[in-house]
Structure 1
Amino acid sequence: MNKSIGPKDKRNKYEYKFLKEIVESVSSKFNRDHLHVSDVLVELESPVQQVKLLLDVGCDDVVHMVGIHGPTEVGKTTLAIAIYNSIADHFEASCFLENVRETSNKDGLQRVQSILLSKTVGEIKLTNWRKGIPMIKHKLKQKKVLLILDDVDEHKQLQAIIGSPDWFGRGSRVIITTQDEHLLALHNIKKTYMLRELSKKHALQLLTQKAF
């Protein structure tokens, strides 16, 4: 004999589903891994705000790619990490690819591509970087992602990892840090921020922190 489901049972079912969705949403935000950032964010409060304006995170109709460039040891990576931590919760998936130059030179571009895919969609083994390009496009085309490429020094790295904005879903944001401003122009990245050299006082603070 079939037992009919009453209004109360239906209501309980809907309430359970609603609460489950809330828990999953909140859990995903609290479980987001934030990166360690230097306790001494010397002179970076203003740059963080300026780069965030360039990113325009609230606009989900477009994909923005922003370049941060400047001399070595001025805090480009620290700046990128601070921005990552402050906006990562606005995205479905996020990935901070550190030391792109070192990793690609040592293990090949496919290693960098594999790290990106594993952090955003799951573990995927790649045999070469040419196979990684269509895989990235296919897997991330419909996903709103935050991606940071740190310490890029060759155009082929950008071509293999973030070929064009349409590789990623609407609302995605990509940040590239590099010493080479011309590299950004070569990849048609129009939104850029130059991080200038630190004052002697703050440079000494940063040097002291690193030394001890």
Structure 2
Amino acid sequence: MFRYESKFIKKIVKVIDDKLSRIRTPFTGASYLIGIDSRVQNINSWLNDGSTDVGIVLVNGIGGIGKTTIAKFVYNLNHRRFEGSCFLEDVRETSKKPNGLVQLQSKFLRDILSGRKVKVHSVSEGINKIRDAITCKRVLLVLDDVDDMDQIRAIFGRRDWFFPGSKIIITTRYAQLLRERELSIYNIYNVHSLNVDESLELFNLHAFGQDQPREGYMKLSKRIADRSGGLPLALQTLGSSLYGRDMDVWESTLDKLVDIPQNEVFKKLRISYDALQDNHDQNLFLHIACFFVGKEKDYIVRILDGCDFFTIVGIENLVDRCLVTIGEDKVVKMHQMICSMGREIVRLESKDPEKRNRLWRDKDSFDVLK
């Protein structure tokens, strides 16, 4: 009888622990977590699989799709199950700062050593101290927004340094990391856009403070949510910017979005464009955004190879940066907000259409030719 009572008590403790972990969390996540449970289910199962392997999962997707939100949510739920844990946020931006990698190393050491400060004077010294620290305890590590293997190497040189059962989550918009032999990644989670119902609900929560629109706003809400392409960042920023605004402002905003993306979304998405390795790939991206979305890859290769592009390898580089995808039908696809971002880059070249490198709007082309 005691054995069954013991099991029952453990179950009660686990349920309470799960509920408390949602309350006592180290990170404040997004205001509204629409569709989050289904998106974190696989990662949660992986975190609690009881394996003694050192597991790595790569959370991959375009900017603003919700990678960091997902990582924070699963970290909040699970960090207390490990002997040590650390969430390194904005790795890409931090690594650009003077001694940025050393700052990341110092935070990692401080977190997994329960707040004890460890002086780190160089990246190589930090790597050695991290190796000594992670070999003796099971840890959960999140590396958020990684775009270069050197950022990962500065935190852990080798996977087998970690204590058995440790887990590592890496969020990135750079799919090339999938092919890095050093990571030996066995788990990949591609984050997809919100569906139609989720998009509308998230937009309404930010635009009205409720999951249903105000009377008379349903059609406009649907059109703006559809224009956002299921991108949570776009839905949040547009919804917040339209909160309390009159209907004529909504209609004007919708007209503007056809040609000009919302600025915060544009800046977030442009990071992937700016990270392309050279102007060849940048120009290739702009050509596709303006003229070739929805066209077959072979057709695009035939046209642009004739314009002195190295199209095949260029498209692969765009896929690596989550700027385009290739469907099973070999059609080149692009998220509509990324397409808008590319066209906005071209529009910003000049106020005068005749001074831009590309024209895709009928009206602009007609005016220039006239």
Q: Please, what TM-score do these two structures have when normalized by structure 2?
A: 0.46
Counterpart amino acid of residue 93 in structure 1: G
Q: What is the total number of aligned residue pairs between the two structures?
A: 184
**Corresponding residue SS for 1:151:** coil
**Corresponding residue SS for 1:74:** coil
Show structure 2 runs of 5+ residues with no match: 1-16, 203-231, 244-370
1:206 pairs with 236, 257, 261, which one?
236
Partner of 1:97: 88
1:62-101 counterparts in 2 under 5 A? 62-101=53-92
Counterpart amino acid of residue 193 in structure 1: Y
Question: Structure 1 residue 112 and structure 2 residue 88: aligned?
Answer: no
Distance, in Å, in 2 between the alignment partners of 1:178 and 1:35 is 19
Distance, in Å, in 2 between the alignment partners of 1:67 and 1:138 is 25
Counterpart amino acid of residue 207 in structure 1: T
Deviation at 1:44, TM superposition (A): 2.2
Larger radius of gyration: 2
Counterpart amino acid of residue 33 in structure 2: L
Q: Whose helix fraction is larger, Structure 1's or Structure 2's? A: 2
2:147 pairs with 153, 157, 161, which one?
153
Deviation at 1:142, TM superposition (A): 0.9
Q: Is the CA contact 1:97–1:112 (under 8 Å) kept in the aligned structure 2?
A: yes
- 1:151-181: CA deviation from partner (whole Å, max 9, x where unpaired): 0011101111133322211111110000011
Deviation at 1:196, TM superposition (A): 1.4
Deviation at 1:34, TM superposition (A): 2.4
Q: Whose strand fraction is larger, Structure 1's or Structure 2's? A: 1
Q: Is the CA contact 1:57–1:171 (under 8 Å) kept in the aligned structure 2?
A: no
Deviation at 1:76, TM superposition (A): 0.3
Distance, in Å, in 2 between the alignment partners of 1:147 and 1:198 is 27
Deviation at 1:88, TM superposition (A): 1.1
User: Per the alignment, do residues 148 and 164 of structure 1 end up closer, same or farther by CA in structure 2, a change over 3 Å counting?
Assistant: same
1:1-212 counterparts in 2 under 5 A? 33-53=25-45, 55-107=46-98, 108-121=100-113, 122-186=116-180, 187-199=183-195, 200-201=199-200, 202=202, 203=232, 205-208=235-238, 211=241
Counterpart amino acid of residue 70 in structure 2: L
Q: Is the CA contact 1:148–1:175 (under 8 Å) kept in the aligned structure 2?
A: yes
Q: Please, what TM-score do these two structures have when normalized by structure 1?
A: 0.78
**Corresponding residue SS for 2:144:** strand
Q: Among the aligned pairs, what percent are the same residue?
A: 35
Show structure 1 runs of 5+ residues with no match: 1-25
Q: Give 4+ residue runs of structure 1 displaced > 4 Å after superposition.
A: 208-212
